[in-house]
Structure 1
Amino acid sequence: MTTCASRRKFNSQTFALMSGALFLPQSTLYAQTTKPVVKTVTRQPLSTVMADAARREQLFTLFERMRALPASHPSSYFFQAAIHWFPDFSDKDPGVQAIKAIFDADPKAKDALPYWDQCTHFGKGQPADFLVWHRAYVYHFEQSARHILGDPSFALPYWDYTSPQAGSRMLPDIFIGKQRQKEGKSISNSLFPTGGPDRTLKNKGDQLSLAAVNITDAFNAERYFAVAGVPGFGGAVGQGGAVSAIDNVPHGAVHGGVGGWMGSVDTAAFDPVFWFHHANIDRLWNMWLAAKNKYWGAMPDGWLDQAPFSFMAPDGTIVREKRSFYADQANLGYRYDSDPTLLPQPTLGQPAGKKPPNLKSIQQLPREIKGFFEKPAGPATSAVTLSSSARTDIRVPLAPLPPPPGSTAPGKRPMALESVKEKYNYVVLDISGIEKESGSAGNYDIYASLPGAVPPELGKASRVGYLTTFEAPRRRPNGAPGKEVHHRVDITAFVQKLSSDKKVNPSEIIFTFVRSVGTDASGKPLDQAEGGPVHLRSLAVKVLVGSTDEVI
C-alpha cells in the first residue's frame, strides 16, 4: 500500500475547485484558526432523527449532494472519506476499483493527495490521538454538511448500538438497500455504499453481537493515557500499532461487525455508516469523562499544546488547531443529548471533578506508574492462522521462574503466576504481526484455559479478551512485510486465579480464538466464513513489571 508519506511527495500548489474556492499555499494556511462557534447544537440518536420525516430526508439529501461533487472538492463525499484513508489502487478488489473509478473521473483529484490518509490507524501517529483526531474529523465533516445543506443548525446523529432498547444493535433501515422509496418512486439510496462489497449486516434485522458493543472493558479503564501493555481508555503515546480500550471495543468491533467497506481502515469512511458510528464513539468519550475516578495518567509534557492535525474547511482553506482545542468540546459548538449539564474533566491525581486538571503537575503525581519493565514469561509461538469458521486452539508456552544465581535447584512455578503477586505487575498475551486475507475479516472472542484431556469448555468464566481485525493490514503478496499491527490482551485476572491454587503448575496456556458474529432477524448466527482467515506472526505471554520511576 502506498504510504501517507509517499503520497505527500505530490506537488501541493494551489488548485481551483468547481465551487470557485481556492486552496492556499500550506505555508500561509497553517497559521489560520477556525472561527469561534457561537451556537451549540445537540447531537441526538439516529433513531430519533429517523422518526422525523423531514430530518430523515435531510440525511439522504446531504449524502446525495456530497456524492454529486467531484473528488477534489473539499466538501465532496470522496474528499471527506479519503481524509481518513483510501486503498491501494493496485488492489484488484471490485470495491477498491469502484473507489478508483471515482478518483480517475476527476483530473484534479491527484492534487488533493497530500490532504488525505490522515487517520491515526495502521500504527501511524500515536494511539492516544485516536479519540482527539476522530473528534476533529467528524467535527469538520459536520461543518461541511452544514455548508452543503445551508443549515447552520444541522447536527450529526449518532448510532447508539450500546442502548439496551430492542433493535439498537441492528443496522438502521436507512443504510439497507441500494434503492429507497420517495413519493411513490424508487430512487438510489445515497446512504448505501454503492460499488462496495456486501456488508456483513446487509439484511433488515441483522444485528451486531453483544460482545462487539460491550463497553465494560473500556469504561473500566481509569486512565486516558496507556502505559506499556495496559491499553488505557484513550491509548498510548509512542506505541504505534497498539490500540486503546475503546479503539478495540466497541470501535474496531463495530467496524468488523458491520463488514464490507466498514471492515477495513482503508475503505471504512466510504461507507456512510462510518460517520454515525464515530459520532457515538465520541459520545462514549463524554460518558467516560463524566464517570467517577477517571485520570489523565502520564500525559507527556506539552501534548495538548501540539497541533499535529490539519483539516480542510468548506471554502478550501487549511485549518490546524491544537489538541486542546478539540479536546474541549465547548470550542466545537455541539453537545450530546446524553451529556450531563456540566461535563467533568479527568484529573491528574484526584477523582474526576468540575475543574479542569492542572496539566503542569502531571510529573509530580505520587505513585503514578511511569512505565514498565517488560519480561518474556515464555517463548513465542510460531506463525498461526485463525480460522474464519471454526475455533482455533493455540498452545502458548510458559517458562518457569529461574532459580537464584548459583543455585542448581529446578525452576519454580511459571514466572507469570509468581509475578502477579506484586501490586503493579500485569500479565498480557502479546499478539504480533496481525494480517488478514481480505478487507473485512471480522472479530474474535479469546478464551484461556489449561491443558486437559478434552477440549476446554468455552464460557464467560474463561473469556479473557477480544481481537478486532479492523486495523490489521491485508496480507501482501509473497509474504512481503507490511505495516506492523499488534494487540495485547490483559490476562492478569486469569493468571491470578491460577496463582492462588498452589497445585496448579502449568507449562502452557491454551488460548482459543472463536469468530464473533452477529445474528440475523431469526437469531441465527451470520455467515462466519465471510472475510477469510487471519494470520498471526506469533503469540507470547509477557510480564509487565510496573515502575513508579522512569524506566531506563
Structure 2
Amino acid sequence: MANVRRDVWNLGSGWSDALLWYARGVGVLQQRPITDHTSWRFLAAIHGIDVPLWQSAGYLRPNEQLPSQTDQDTYWNQCQHQTWYFLPWHRGYLASFEQIVRKAIVGLGGPSDWALPYWNYNENQQTLNLPACFAETTLPNGEQNPLFVARRFGPTGNGVVVLNEQRINLRPALTDHDFAGGAGGGSPGFGGPVTVFEHYGQVSGQLESQPHNYVHVAVGGQQQGSRVPGLMIDPDTAALDPIFWLHHANIDRLWDVWLQRDRQNHNPLTSAWLNGPPTPGRGFVVPTVSGQPWPFKVSDMLDTRAPKLDYSYEDTSDPLHGTRAFQQRLETLRASPEPLGAAAVKEKSMSAQSPAELLGANDKAIALTGATVETPLQLDQSTSGTLMGNLKSRAFAPAVAEHSLDRVYLNLENIRGNNDAATFDVYVSLPVEGQLSALPDQYVGSISLFGVRKASSPDSQHGGKGVSHVLEITDVFDKLSASGHPILAKLKVRFVPVTDVQAEDNITVGRVSVYRQGD
C-alpha cells in the first residue's frame, strides 16, 4: 500500500508525530558530511549550490572537502526551472529525499510508513502561516530544532512568515488546459514551455509562476535593515531550508489536482517529454537510500503509486470554487450536438498550441524601483478589434469561460536584476478610444523574481537574458467587450512593489507586450 502524504495542517497542532520524526530524520542527514550522497547538504546541492552563498550562510567551511568533480557534475545544479520538465524532475527529487529521510527515521526506531507532509497554503487563513514547528528553535525535549533556519525572513523581512492569499491564486494554473506551452507570447502552459534540460530557463509555467515562485520568495525574504537574503529566495540555497520539501510536495500534489479536475487536462504524449531530457546531454539522476545513482526519465514519474515512488496524497480534490456547477455545465455541453468527446480531447491534447499574435508593446525597457511604475502600450486597432469581436463576455457564459478559445496574455519579458526576493503586483488599465474615462485599474496578477539574480548574469545559461513572466488578462478584455466599447487604442500596465525594492537592485523589464492566442 502506498505511503500517504498528508496535509501538515491536518496532522494536529504543535509537534505532531510526523513532524517530530521529520525533524529527527533531518537531524541525522545534517550530521553527515557533504561528500555523503545521502547527506542534507549533498541533497540540497542537487537542486543548486552557490559556494560563496553557502559559505556566507554558514553551510560550507572554507577549504572543506567536497565530493569528487565527477559526483558534482553528475548530481549537482540539476533543478529544472522554466521548463516542461519542472514538475517531473522535482517529483523524482522529492521521492529520493523522502525515501532517504524515511530510512533515517526507521534507523531511529520510527515508523516505516512515514511520508513527507505537504503544506497546503490555499486551504484557509490559518494555512497561510508557516507551520509553527518550523519557527521553533528547539524540539520538545529541548534539543536544537533541525527544522529551524535563521535565514527565513518572511515577506516583510521581520522573520514572520505569512503568505498573501491573493498572490497564491491557483486559478490561472489550474484552468490552463495545456500542460506544455511556449516562449512565443502565448500561454507558457500549466507545466512550462517546451525546452531541453534547463537548470535555469526563461519563461515560468503557470504553476511555477504562481504559487511556486511567490511562496519561495515570501518565505525566504530579505532581513530588514541588512537585506541579508533568505535561503528560499534563491534556487542555489532553497533546498537547505526544511520547509522547501513541504512546499514542493504541495506543488507536486497540484499536478495531480490539475490532471483530475478536468477531462481536457493531459500530460504531454511526445517522446521528447516522456523520454526526457533528450540525449545527448545531461540526464536526471538522484541518489537511492544507499547512495547509489538512480537515473530516471519523465515516464518513470507519472504514476506515484509505482514501486519506485510509492506514495499518494490524502486530498487531490479541486480547490476552485463553483467547480461542481462548472462540471455539470461542461457535461451538458459534451452532450450537445457537437460534444467535446474523448477523441476530440485527445486530438486537442496532442496538437501543438496555436501561434500567438502580437497586439502591442511598449517602446523601451523600464526600471522597477521602490515606487509605482507605469508604462503605456500602443495596441494595433485592427487586430484588437478582431479580438474584441471574437471574445464572449464571461458575464454571458460563466460556465464555459475558462474554455474560451480566445485568450489574451500580458508578457513581461527579460526581467533582470539582483534581488531574488522582489515581488510586484501588476495592474492594467484600458483607456477607451474617444473617451476620457477608462475601466478601473484591474489587478491581473503578481510576479516574484525567484532566481532572477543568476538568470541576469552574463555567465548564465542564457547569457543574462533574465526571466520572463506571462499573466493571462482575458478577463480584462472580456470586461471591456461587455462594456460596449470594443475598440482599443492604448493600454497601461502598472507595477506596484510589495517588498523592499531599491534602485541599486537594478530591476528592469526589457519589454511589456500583449499577445492574443486562439484557435
TM class by shorter chain equals: 0.7 to 0.9
Q: What CA RMSD, in Å, does the superposition of the two structures yield over aligned residues?
A: 3.6
The one of 239, 250, 263 aligned to 1:269: 239
Distance in 1 of aligned mates of 2:487 and 2:390: 19
Matched, 1:231 2:185: no
Equivalent residue for 1:490?
472
Equivalent residue for 2:57?
98
Matched, 1:418 2:386: yes
The one of 30, 43, 56 aligned to 2:5: 43
SS of equivalent to 2:381: coil
Bigger shift: residues 247-256 or 51-60: 51-60
Matched, 1:71 2:34: yes
Map 1:505-520 → 2, pairs under 5 A: 505-516=487-498
Distance 1:363 1:298, change over 3 A: farther
Equivalent residue for 2:252?
282
Distance 1:64 1:530, change over 3 A: farther
The residue identity in structure 2 corresponding to 1:118 is Q
Distance 1:394 1:430, change over 3 A: same
The one of 62, 79, 103 aligned to 1:147: 103
Distance 1:383 1:530, change over 3 A: closer
The residue identity in structure 1 corresponding to 2:447 is L
Equivalent residue for 2:424?
444
Distance 1:516 1:326, change over 3 A: same
What do residues 105-136 of structure 1 show as CA deviations (whole Å, max 9, x unaligned)? 22436553111111112x5xxx2211111111
Equivalent residue for 2:287?
312
The 8 Å contact of residues 231 and 241 in structure 2, kept in 1 or not, is answered as yes
1:422, distance to aligned residue in structure 2 (A):
4.1
The residue identity in structure 1 corresponding to 2:193 is A
Distance in 2 of aligned mates of 1:363 and 1:496: 25
Equivalent residue for 1:355?
none
The 8 Å contact of residues 378 and 399 in structure 1, kept in 2 or not, is answered as yes
The one of 126, 132, 138 aligned to 1:173: 132
TM-score, normalization by structure 2: 0.76
Distance in 2 of aligned mates of 1:529 and 1:541: 27
Distance 1:367 1:265, change over 3 A: closer
What do residues 416-451 of structure 1 show as CA deviations (whole Å, max 9, x unaligned)? 34235347443322211112322322x222111035
1:182, distance to aligned residue in structure 2 (A):
4.0
The one of 198, 202, 215 aligned to 1:241: 202
The residue identity in structure 1 corresponding to 2:477 is V
Distance in 2 of aligned mates of 1:198 and 1:204: 4
SS of equivalent to 2:30: helix
Matched, 1:300 2:270: yes
Distance in 1 of aligned mates of 2:33 and 2:436: 60
Equivalent residue for 1:134?
90
Distance in 1 of aligned mates of 2:231 and 2:214: 14
Equivalent residue for 2:512?
539
Q: How many percent identity over aligned positions?
A: 26
Distance in 2 of aligned mates of 1:80 and 1:449: 46
1:499, distance to aligned residue in structure 2 (A):
4.5
1:142, distance to aligned residue in structure 2 (A):
0.4
The structure whose Rg is larger is 1
Matched, 1:397 2:378: yes
Distance in 1 of aligned mates of 2:70 and 2:271: 36
What do residues 266-321 of structure 1 show as CA deviations (whole Å, max 9, x unaligned)? 22111111001011111222222221333227642463244642111132211123
Map 1:400-479 → 2, pairs under 5 A: 400-401=381-382, 415-422=383-390, 424-441=405-422, 443-451=423-431, 462-474=442-454, 475-476=456-457
Map 1:285-364 → 2, pairs under 5 A: 285-296=255-266, 299-301=269-271, 303-306=273-276, 308-331=283-306, 332-339=309-316
The 8 Å contact of residues 358 and 513 in structure 2, kept in 1 or not, is answered as yes
The 8 Å contact of residues 417 and 498 in structure 1, kept in 2 or not, is answered as no
1:152, distance to aligned residue in structure 2 (A):
3.1
Matched, 1:85 2:48: yes
Larger helix percent: 2
The one of 150, 153, 158 aligned to 1:198: 153
Map 1:22-41 → 2, pairs under 5 A: 39-41=1-3
The number of residues matched between the two structures is 452
TM-score, normalization by structure 1: 0.72
Distance 1:436 1:309, change over 3 A: same
What do residues 61-116 of structure 1 show as CA deviations (whole Å, max 9, x unaligned)? 122211111111111111111111122x4x5x6x6633662474224365531111
The 8 Å contact of residues 72 and 108 in structure 1, kept in 2 or not, is answered as yes
Give the unaligned 5+ runs of structure 1: 1-38, 341-349, 352-360, 402-414, 518-526, 548-552
Distance 1:385 1:421, change over 3 A: same
The 8 Å contact of residues 161 and 219 in structure 2, kept in 1 or not, is answered as no
Matched, 1:113 2:72: yes
The 8 Å contact of residues 201 and 258 in structure 1, kept in 2 or not, is answered as no
The one of 365, 374, 388 aligned to 2:347: 365
Distance in 1 of aligned mates of 2:156 and 2:482: 43
The residue identity in structure 1 corresponding to 2:4 is T
The residue identity in structure 2 corresponding to 1:147 is K
The residue identity in structure 1 corresponding to 2:23 is F
The 8 Å contact of residues 46 and 157 in structure 1, kept in 2 or not, is answered as yes
SS of equivalent to 2:56: helix
1:473, distance to aligned residue in structure 2 (A):
3.1
Distance in 2 of aligned mates of 1:180 and 1:284: 32
Matched, 1:256 2:217: yes
Equivalent residue for 2:321?
none
